[in-house]
Amino acid sequence: MNIPAPPEPTDDTGPVHLHVCVTCRRGLPASDSPPGRQLHDAMQARAADNPQVVVHEVSCLAACNDGCTAVVAMPGKWGWLLANLGPEKADDLMTYVAAYGASRSGTVMPSRRPASLSDMVRGRFPASLFSGA
């Protein structure tokens, strides 16, 4: 198996970009406010006074069986597809986002994640995909 090298550490102090799927329903019937939208809104509220976090909405991340989902990305760092999220995990997700931003390569080891997010990683993306995050 060919494992790619980690990205070169970056001195970029730009913001962390969190892309939250607003259509995730977590298996629930259609409603006015799907859990993905609730998670997005909760994260946006938590990031309102933090210029180091930018929250974006996306229509679908194609991981519906594992919703709610989000991608965390930053130029020069690995990007991550995160799953099994929900509005009830917003505080823990913000803790993870801060740890991600402080990391050199974008990797936050499981031992450094909040316990509620231990099973959230579904995929990793090369740093080159996120030059503008």
Question: Domain holding 80: CATH number?
Answer: 3.40.30.10
pLDDT, tens digit (0-9, with 9 covering 90-100), for 12-30: 568 999 999 999 887 677 7
| Beta strands, E only, 7-130 | 16-21, 53-58, 70-73, 79-82, 121-125
Residue-wise pLDDT tens digits, 46-77: 999 999 999 999 999 998 888 899 999 999 99
Structural domain range at position 93: 16-130
Q: Count of domains in the chain?
A: 1
The full length of the chain comes to 133
Domain presence at residue 71: yes
- pLDDT of 133 reads 52
Model confidence at 98: pLDDT above 90: yes
